[in-house]
Structure 1
Amino acid sequence: MERETSRTTDEPPEQQPDFGLFGPQSVTWRVHADPMMLPAGLRALLLQALHPLAMAGVAEHSRYREDPWGRLLRTAQYVGAVTYGSTAQAEAALARVRAVHLRVRGTDPDTGAGYRADDPELLTWVHCCETDSFLRVTRAGGLRLTAAEADRYVAEQRETAWRLGVPRTAPLPATVDELDDYFDRIRPELRAGPAAREAARFAVLPPMPLWVALATPARPAWTGIMALGVASLPRWARRLYGLPGWPVADLGARVATRSLRTSLLVLPAALREGPHLKEARARLAAHG
């Protein structure tokens, strides 16, 4: 994928900053810097759980029950490294995920179907859930993107999927319409089985130290953010989970998402930006 950066063509290569896989002119930098990425990520996890084979892999190989906050932190670090890290940082993060995928394989206990995390079809499913969730939740919160920029984001995100193992010849969605078509095609394969419902319940009420739950606003804050992630799911996905799929719920989710984003944008950048984004901004500032 051809990437745009702020590099100048007359600079010696050794003086050119390494902006990694995307660069400061990419739509990816804008989307992934948005404060709504947390509820967007939770939406992606709930969506991913609806694929029986993807959920079987999580249920049998993930330690999300024992270490939910560590898993969340590692996921955030991965997204930050791949988005804003140098090429070496991004490749290291991708290599760690590929190594994990090699070990994740087994049989779905409900259907008897075999699965492996490095299967290009499962990689495509996970990729599309993340791309769709990151784009839709940030835009619903008020991130201003033109239709062309939204399509460009979908096209940019293919780079990560390719580097994780999806063949470059595979029909990965390159526009928002193609992303919608993908979900339309795969919907007959999806269901909210017992493992998916258990994961969703765990996500809504994860364990917290007693003093955190009682003496801080962490529990109600998490519940509110998680509720946004649930409410922002497509209507068909909410129905699979046995939740209301009414259009009015979409309006309520949009209003709540915009309100949360507005309140988070008031916070200083030092509090809401991750370390990889801060490092990338420093490289950009040093570059002039």
Structure 2
Amino acid sequence: MENVLARWRRELRGTFSANSPTVPQWERDLEKGDDGGYFAPESAAWAVHGSMTPVVAGIQALLLQALHPGAMAGVHDHSDYASDPLSRLAGTIRWIFTVTYGDTAAAQAASSKVRRIHTHISGTYQANPGTPAAYTANDPELLRWVHLAFTEAFLACHQALGRPIPGGADAYVADWAVAGHLMGVPDPPMTMAGLDRQLAGFRQELRCDERVQETVEFLKRPPLPRSQQLGYKVLFATAVATLDPRYRTLLGLHAPHVGPVQLPVRWAAKVVLGVVHLGLGKTGPSEQSARARRCRLGLDRPAHG
């Protein structure tokens, strides 16, 4: 029994770290640095990203981001997500946690690294209504869409599954605007009203085509270990159920239901996330490193103090 449990925990941690056998060094390195970072332990960003809800939000963000044909073209033409999804997931997690928990220099360096990678990503796509358009991954409006989709998804999933956010939804939108600025997004939204307004500005550009449908099918059934497949089905269903109905309809997806009765996937997701929490541990290594750095700098007291 212990061997089965140990293997399950190893596989679970491997899913989020590209199968690293130990805590990745970059997470330990977040203990280094000369300031407290952009966010403090009581911030909205720590509350959301330190919970389990990002596991669902990540799925929903990918569904949303795929709806923009320019963003989808970049993924289709340049990403190896289908052949090596865990590496892409690990890279995204590294950026999110470095911006959230690292000092300001680390957050800036991580964002600059992503932007440098983006300089090699360009091409063309068919914009609505079928006119050819050029894209680059560092195009400010494509970066804006990715930022908006991320913020919308992480906020919606946390509001559905997580605890109250310090300062409310506006505080999270304002916090994560910092990441938008670091990535070169001009004037990212600072409030829920601003987020909704900027999302509305993209609606005429969104569509679900064959490429998007392929991405949706992949996200429905990613190549996970057998021990994670049932739990993932619940989490995918919850990502769909908590998605804004307008985007859900555009994607051709439906909230799970039997006849007219919607299934209680949120309750089931909380159970799955609770199990994942047990497997990963109470506090993640990135947060532990950030707290150690802040204590070293005299910004916070040790937990036992």
Return the TM-score normalized by structure 2. 0.77
Tell me, what secondary structure is at the counterpart of 2:135? strand
Q: Determine the structure 2 residue equivalent to 1:158.
A: 177
Residue 258 of structure 1 deviates from its aligned partner by 4.5
Alignment of 1:255-270 (within 5 A): 255-261=264-270, 264-265=273-274, 267-268=277-278
Distance 2:284 2:114 in 1: 20
Q: Percent identity?
A: 38
1:206: which partner in 2? Answer: 222
CA contact (8 A) 2:256 2:262 kept: no
The gaps in structure 2 that reach 5 residues or longer are 1-32
Contact kept in structure 2, 1:140 and 1:258, CA below 8 Å: no
In structure 2, distance between residues paired with 1:176 and 1:226:
25
Aligned-pair CA distance for 1:226: 1.8
2:213 equivalent among 169, 183, 197: 197
Using the size of structure 1 for normalisation, the TM-score is 0.82
Question: For 2:123, what is the secondary structure of its paired residue?
Answer: strand
SS in 1 for 2:202: helix
Distance of 2:258 and 2:105 partners within structure 1: 46
Task: Give me the whole-angstrom Cα distance separating, in 2, the residues matched to 1:258 and 1:29.
Answer: 23
Q: Is the 8 A contact 1:235 1:245 kept in 2?
A: no
Deviates more, 1:267-276 or 1:46-55: 267-276
Partner of 1:282: 292
Stretch of structure 1 that moved more, 121-130 or 262-271: 262-271
**Higher fraction of helix:** 1
Q: Deviations over 1:53-84 (max 9, x none)?
A: 11011100111011011111111121111100
Map Cα deviations across residues 173-205 of structure 1 (whole Å, 9 max, x no partner). Answer: 211122112222221111011111111111111
Amino acid paired to 2:209: G
**Could you tell me how far apart the structure 2 residues matched to 1:64 and 1:24 are?**
32
1:226 aligns with 2:236: yes
Letter in 1 for 2:62: L
* Number of corresponding residues: 261
- Which deviates further from its counterpart, 17-26 or 259-268? 259-268
2:106 pairs with 1:89 = yes
Residue 113 (structure 1) shift: 1.1
Give the alignment partner of residue 178 of structure 1, picking from 181, 194, 197. 194
Q: State the distance in 1 between where 2:173 and 2:257 align.
A: 25
Tell me, which stretches of 5 or more residues in structure 1 are unaligned? 1-15
Shift of 1:145: 2.9
| CA distance 1:176–1:269, change in 2 (3 Å) | farther
Aligned partners of 1:122 and 1:96: how far apart in 2? 17
User: Residue 271 of structure 1 corresponds to which residue in structure 2?
Assistant: 281
Which residue number in structure 2 is paired with residue 123 of structure 1? Answer: 143
Equivalent residue of 2:266, what SS? Answer: helix
2 CA distance for matches of 1:278 and 1:165?
A: 29
CA RMSD of aligned residues (A): 2.6
